[in-house]
Structure 1
Amino acid sequence: MSVLLIEAFYGGSHKQLVDMLHENIEDSAVYTLPAKKWHWRARTSALYFMQNIPESPSYRVLLASSVLNLAELVALRPDLGRLRKVLYFHENQLIYPVRKAQERDFQYGYNQVLSCLVADSVLFNSTFNMESFLTSMSSFFKAIPDHRPKDLDCLIRSKCQVLHFPIRFPDVTRFLPEHKLRRRATGSHMSCATGVPQDISSHGHLSVPASSSSEASSTSEEGPVPSEQQGAVLTQEPQRVTADQRGPERQQPPSCPPQGSHTGPQPQPPLHIVWPHRWEHDKDPELFFRTLLKLKERGLRFQVSVLGETFTDVPDIFTEARRDLGDHVLHWGFMPSKEAYLAVLCSADVVISTAKHEFFGVAMLEAVHCGCYPLCPKALVYPEIFPAEYLYSTPEQLGKRLQGFCKRPDVVRRHAVKVDTGLYSWEALRDRFRSVLSAEGHSVTEQAQARAGAEGSSARGSLSLEPTGVR
């Protein structure tokens, strides 16, 4: 088997996927473009790859992300059109958020639809991504003044499937504080203060736990940039607020002592909240900081680490929030290394998402892997991954949950999160990727159905999103 991996926007999750496949699939070749100027990659990368991918009789399968206009590429290179063509969607342009509806560029979504029509197999990183794409198609094409295409979603659906983005979860044992190590080792919800098994209800109050599974191991103004890019050009230096800057009351006291060593009530360290997302409006930092400032106004004790990548235009709210939160800030800015990033996640108690859009959410799953309690909107992809107790419907609900956790951080610290991150690991998904990238792919019947649908539409095209220089 010879697999041709093409990435027009080689950065973030797009880069991670291509690298993982290249490392684990024998006889694969990679051609990429750098992860910048997304709009131009979507418009013109097919021409670049037409000229820079050499012809080879050994290629059997082609995989590209949905940034590339696959229809253009296979029209320009008929030899590539004869391969089994697999398209992977990290995000879709039919519902990607824009400030105003009239600002949506029709061409990007149109390219993705054409790419699906010429592909043999179309993969999505979540059910939310797939269904939002397919069900939005008819309304999307209403922008055409007349002679609109019909039933394209029916032609495409037969070749679609969900194949989650595979995450390589590292061993973070060395970074975990004592209470997380103890919780991981015992699988217990025991309070180190009382020894009483307790859990957290959907309103943040204490309740008798039901059975739970044991704990398992970002759109730019430039375009749909993967959520968690560690390693792009930064616009500011990461900051670590030191203990001296915070004052003695902000220094982390040790976690609760072992049972049997009572020396009176021990002070709990303040709740540590982490927000590990891109610094852009689609992640709704305004809601996040507004919620924290209300906690501060109520005199509640907490620390916050605001991580994630910055781009050219950072929303003003970040400068304002840094000033207004003052000594509540523990870490501020993009971390200098993946290890430093994981260390902060391991030290945190609660990870928050306030996203207005999310097609998968690597950062939230990484934080859960590091022992954080997740709080996510009851929308987008989150109900697909997180049980109801970790979801909030309104800003008021988010604020109420955090108020309860600030008052009783021990409740969060003894909770084993009921999310099996192993389901999204490379180890769990590897065989499915190998199967779909085999020359045979699906059954002969499924392939025939997909080809019949594509031919019936008379459209030939496929798109993919993620670049970085030819390798």
Structure 2
Amino acid sequence: MRRRILLLSAYQSDSHAWWVRWLQQAFPGIDWRLLTLPGRHFKWRIRGNPLSWLDEIESACRGADQVVATSMVDLATLRGLCPALARIPAIYYFHENQFAYPVGPGQRHTLEPRVVQLYGALAAERLVFNSDWNRRSFLAGVDALLGRMPDAVPAGVAARLGRRSMVLPVPIAELTRPATEHRDPRLIVWNHRWEYDKAPEVFARALDRLAADGHDFHLALLGARAPKTPAVLRGLEKQWAPRIVASGCVARSAYGAILHRAAIAVSTAIHEFQGLGMLEAASAGAAPLVPDALVYPEQYATAYRYPAGDADALATRLGQWLGEPPSVPDVSAWSEVVLRPSWAKVLNGE
């Protein structure tokens, strides 16, 4: 009989949706049962998904050999509400963790999302993280949180969770390579969401400094955008209009073509647990220039990193690379061909 897996994705945003589709396509021999919720209304999603699935979960888990739930799923509550689910081995997959997620303007850290993920981790048989930075920051966050509690805290919770954890990234999405490649040595690409956690204002300051130093450059301003265009993006589009070769969310084929044309890809992120966009850019031949923080040190050598948040250092490095970018690092360790066998073992319960 076909192995049956219940896949629970409580915040089906772009990268989560890509991962779900990839699992289904990469392992068609598995009988996938899928419950998802749209990637919006964060506070309600992370706490309310057991209620949202209350009338579906029992039938969805019937006959399942394994559960794979993202860390946005309140797995502990869900298992309590559905005893049948509690009897099925569960993998808790961390695309991110709330202990290391930066808060935006006007926001503050709250206890509840972190406790949901802590209880979810305790309820699961295996924890899988998309990077070692994700794993380390989660376990350190658990230790720090419980260390601030006044009493009745069991010893060694983070250590227990660490013993049942492993790292297994999401594979890079395949990009069709053009028959002939015409790379622009002065084309800089930004391929991230235009939101606070990607710190686009640092990128904007670096471009100002780059132009002030007399450097010529071209821009591709890609990535998802909010319904109301962020002020920093409006400013960039107005200021650098003659230098912009592409702007906005483009079709997948056009996105791949731009990455194959670009010489440099830039990140200024203050939140990155795996950094799929930069891995895609590097796999397409664009040299990655990233902050010396978050997941990046485990992916790229020192030569590709600059001091996090330092727009002047970013501009200096860009000036050195324009026209003569460095060789591109090998990111094949994040490719489907390398990662698929490890995913097969995990999904088979090995």
Fold shared, TM-score > 0.5 on shorter chain: yes
1:21 is matched with which residue? 23
More moved, 138-147 vs 64-73 = 138-147
Aligned to 2:338: 428
| 2:285 alignment counterpart | 371
Q: CA, structure 1 residues 150+101, in 2 after alignment: closer, same or farther (shift >3 Å)?
A: farther
Call closer, same or farther: CA 1:55–1:363 in 2, change over 3 Å: closer
1:50 equivalent to 2:57? Answer no
Contact conserved, 2:173 with 2:280, CA < 8 A, in 1?
no
1:362, 1:44 → 2: CA distance?
Answer: 28
Is the 8 Å Cα contact of residues 175 and 347 (structure 1) preserved in structure 2? Answer: no
Question: Are the structure 2 counterparts of residues 115 and 313 from structure 1 closer, same or farther at C-alpha, using a change threshold of 3 Å?
Answer: farther
Distance 2:105 2:13 in 1: 27
Partner of 2:234: 319
Q: Secondary structure at the match of 2:53?
A: helix
Give the TM-score taking structure 1 as reference length: 0.69
**Residues 116, 122 of structure 1: 8 Å contact kept:** yes
Aligned-residue Cα RMSD (Å) equals: 2.0
Q: 1:322 deviation in Å?
A: 1.9
Q: Deviation at 1:167?
A: 2.1
* Aligned residue in 2 for 1:206: none
Aligned sequence identity (%): 33
Which runs of 5 or more structure 1 residues have no equivalent in the other structure? 181-268, 443-471
Deviations 1:83-126 (A, max 9, x none): 01001000000111014797112100100000000100000000
Q: 2: CA distance between counterparts of 1:44 and 1:135?
A: 26
Structure 2 CA distance for aligned equivalents of residues 320 and 405 of structure 1: 24
- The aligned counterpart of 1:391 is 305
Q: Give the deviation of 1:144 after TM superposition.
A: 4.2
Q: Kindly indicate whether residue 92 of structure 2 is the aligned counterpart of residue 87 of structure 1.
A: yes
Deviation of 1:6 after TM superposition, in Å, equals 1.2
TM superposition score normalised by structure 2: 0.92
Aligned residue for 1:275, secondary structure, equals strand
Amino acid at match of 1:362: L
User: Within 5 A, what are the aligned runs for 1:260-271?
Assistant: 271=186
| Distance (whole Å) between structure 1 residues aligned to residue 306 and residue 61 of structure 2 | 52
> Matched residues in 2 for 1:56 and 1:326: separation?
53
Superposed CA deviations along residues 134-163 of structure 1, whole A, max 9, x for unmatched, are 012122235545544542102211110000
Q: Which has the higher strand share?
A: 2
Q: Compare CA radii of gyration and give the structure with the larger one.
A: 1
Shift of 1:274: 0.6
SS of the equivalent of 1:7 reads strand
| Cα displacement (A) at 1:426 | 1.9
Return the letter of the residue paired with 1:369: S
Cα separation, 1, equivalents of 2:174 and 2:61: 35
Structure 1 segments, 4+ long, off by >6 Å, are none
1:282 aligns with 2:197: yes
Tell me, in whole angstroms, the C-alpha distance in 2 between the residues paired with 1:107 and 1:143: 15
Which of the residues 322, 325, 329 maps onto 1:418?
A: 329
CA deviations on 1:298-356 (whole Å, 9 max, x unpaired) are: 33211111110012454322112222223122222222x11111111111110001111
State the Cα distance separating 1:77 from its structure 2 match: 0.7
Match of 2:223 in 1: 308
1:296 corresponds in structure 2 to: 211
Residue number among 57, 68, 71 corresponding to 1:63 in the alignment: 68
8 Å CA contact 2:210, 2:316 repeated in 1: no
Alpha-carbon distance between aligned partners in 2 of 1:311 and 1:101, rounded to the nearest angstrom: 17
What is the distance in 1 between the residues matched to 2:206 and 2:334?
A: 30
Q: How far did residue 416 of structure 1 move?
A: 3.2
Give the Cα separation in 2 of the matches to 1:44 and 1:38: 10
Greater relative CO, 1 or 2 (CA 8 Å, sep 6+): 1
Instruction: List gaps (5 residues or longer) in structure 2.
Output: none
Shift of 1:273: 0.5
* Residue equivalent to 1:106: 111
CA contact (8 A) 1:9 1:35 kept: yes
Give the Cα–Cα distance (whole angstroms) in 2 for the partners of residues 351 and 7 of structure 1. Answer: 30
